Amino acid sequence: MTTQAQMPSTDRTRVRRVAELANYERDTAYAIIDSAYLCHIAFVDEKGTHCIPMACWREDNHLYIHGSNGGRLVKLLSGGTQVCVTITHLDGLVLARSAFNHSMNYRSVAIYGSFERVSNEADKRTALDVFMNKLASGRGNEVRPGNDKEFAATSVLRIALDEVAAKVRTGGPVDDAEDVSIPVWAGVLPLTQLQTTPVADDGITVETPTYVRNWDCSK
Amino acid sequence: MTTQAQMPSTDRTRVRRVAELANYERDTAYAIIDSAYLCHIAFVDEKGTHCIPMACWREDNHLYIHGSNGGRLVKLLSGGTQVCVTITHLDGLVLARSAFNHSMNYRSVAIYGSFERVSNEADKRTALDVFMNKLASGRGNEVRPGNDKEFAATSVLRIALDEVAAKVRTGGPVDDAEDVSIPVWAGVLPLTQLQTTPVADDGITVETPTYVRNWDCSK
């Protein structure tokens, strides 16, 4: 990844405690984001600090979310409130020979900044198309598209991927030299997100589309 | 679940937008927490709002985390800063017959309050034992236990599970009546966290323990 553009680090995104895990490269951050359907958004309102899970997707150098115009969250976030948006994939438990060297393998991205509302109607529709195609490629051409009322009731917000910290841990345990001979199993217990057998709604008689037939990885 | 104790709702944890999903029952919240290895912690420091993934575990009515004494995070959180700790499991994509009725199945818990340091040495060791047994039952008796220096360098923090909002969505799409006859596949594309084949560290010759042999659910 040495040829990738570096993302500039700021005082806020520089990873302080485990510097060897820090990774500011854009492609790594993009891949972590693109593997996620959900992010956690931290923000402050008059009642305190909150952390809310939201569906998300990426287009170029922005992360997108959407929500109801009437919702408190959309109103607050589109007003420029500072947020931190975090995505984390847990890839495994790392079992070391000593209790204190146990760890976890993961990939995470923290995005700092603020959301802006996508106010141009064409841009908003394009963004929601990108989201639908992320969920199921081509599905946008099959379902009933949004009508004017639905579009009007929905806001699309985006945040630039400019102030971003990516952290990745991979590989086996790192034991102290004097612990390596301890006769205990050590290694990684991997975890992954699995796509399992689709469940059709009642009364479905149409042919199963490719993205549904290809979904199941559990067999 | 009608016999379970209700968790009191507060102005902060009452779910406003999708009230039918709200679920304040203690056992639901506990089950969501116990299925997780990671939480996201939102907090504010002098640089702004942050959202950090942390390993976590539950004991009775508290959620626990641990970290290095020297770390900024432990210092800040143990000082009583207000936090919101959120855990989310994504269970599937919900494909509806209209674009705007697409949804996701998920289970999430948001915990409001502040952390306190577990300062009693025996309680701290017990809490870390509970964590080790969550990762791998019985492993605490096999590995080199923490020494005094390691314990001294580590803080265990906990937050009471008193102000908690659980939200759960399950089941298929909810389409508008006039959309039900649209000839498009609708249903759920499920997602689950899968435990895959353990990877032993180099040089492991000891017998594979039960919790490693039983880990793999991918075959």
**Measured in whole angstroms, how far is the alpha carbon of residue B213 from the centre of its chain?**
25
Per-residue model confidence (pLDDT) at position B26: 82
Q: Which of A20-29, A135-144, B28-37, B154-163 has the lowest mean pLDDT?
A: A20-29
- Which residues lie across from B95 on neighbouring strands? B187
Q: Which residues of A touch B93 (CB under 8 A)?
A: 37, 135-136
> Which member of A83, A95, A96 has the closest CB to residue B49?
A83
Ramachandran category for residue B44: left, alpha or beta (phi over 0 → left; psi -120 to 50 → alpha) = beta
Q: What is the pLDDT of residue A27?
A: 85
Q: Are the Cβ atoms of B51 and A37 closer than 8 angstroms?
A: no
A47 → closest Cβ in B11, B88, B172: B11
Query: Scanning every residue of chain A, which has its alpha carbon at the shortest distance from the alpha carbon of B97?
Result: A143
| Position A2 pLDDT exceeds 80 | no
What are the residue ranges spanned by the domains of chain B?
19-191
> Average pLDDT in the A83-96 region?
98
Please state which CATH number belongs to domain B19-191: 2.30.110.10
Cβ-defined contact of B185 to A200 (cutoff 8 Å): yes
CB contact, 8 Å: B203 with chain A?
yes
Q: What angle do CA A22, A27, A30 make, to 5 degrees?
A: 95
Say how far apart CA A7 and CA A178 lie, in whole Å.
39
Q: Which of B105, B103, B96 is nearest to B178 (CA)?
A: B96
In degrees, to the nearest 5, what angle opens at C-alpha A131 toward C-alphas A130 and A134? Answer: 90
In chain A, residues with a C-beta closer than 8 Å to the C-beta of B48 are 12, 82, 84, 112
Identify the pLDDT of residue B11.
65
Among chain B residues, CA nearest to A84? B50
Indicate the residue of A84, A135, A146 with minimum beta-carbon distance to B50. A84
Which residue in chain B is spatially nearest to A52 when comparing CA positions? B86
**A151: which residues sit within 8 A by CB, 6+ positions away?**
A121, A124, A125
CATH code of the domain occupying A19-194 = 2.30.110.10
Q: What are phi and psi of B215, to 5 degrees?
A: -65, -45
Would the CB atoms of B49 and A154 count as touching at under 8 Å? no
The strand ranges marked E within A37-136 are 38-45, 48-55, 57-59, 62-68, 82-95, 103-114, 116-117
Q: What is the ipTM of this complex?
A: 0.91
Residue B64 tokens read as 């626990």
pLDDT of amino acid A14: 59
Give which of A44, A45, A100 to mutate to test B binding, by max B Cβ within 10 Å: A100
Nearest CA of chain A to the CA of B12: how many Å?
A: 7
For B85, nearest residue in chain A (alpha carbons): A51
Q: What is the mean pLDDT of each run of 10 residues along chain B (219 residues)?
A: 45 51 72 97 96 96 94 91 98 97 96 96 96 94 94 96 91 96 97 97 94 94
Residue A4 confidence (pLDDT): 34
Pick from B51, B99, B202: CB nearest A84 = B51
First to last CA, chain A: 34
Q: Which residues contact B92 (CB under 8 A, 6 or more apart)?
A: B104, B105, B188, B189, B190, B191
Quick check: A132 contacting B, CB < 8 Å? Answer: yes
Q: What is the pLDDT of residue A9?
A: 62
Closest CA to A218 of B90, B217, B106, B216: B217
Q: How far is the C-alpha of B12 from the C-alpha of A46, rounded, in Å?
A: 10
pLDDT at position B1: 26
What's the whole-number mean pLDDT along residues A112-137?
96
A12 neighbourhood in chain B, CB within 8 Å: 47-48
CB atoms B90 and A50 under 8 Å = no
Among B residues 7-36, those touching chain A with beta carbons less than 8 Å apart? 11-12, 16-17
Q: Could you tell me what percent of chain A has a pLDDT over 70?
A: 89
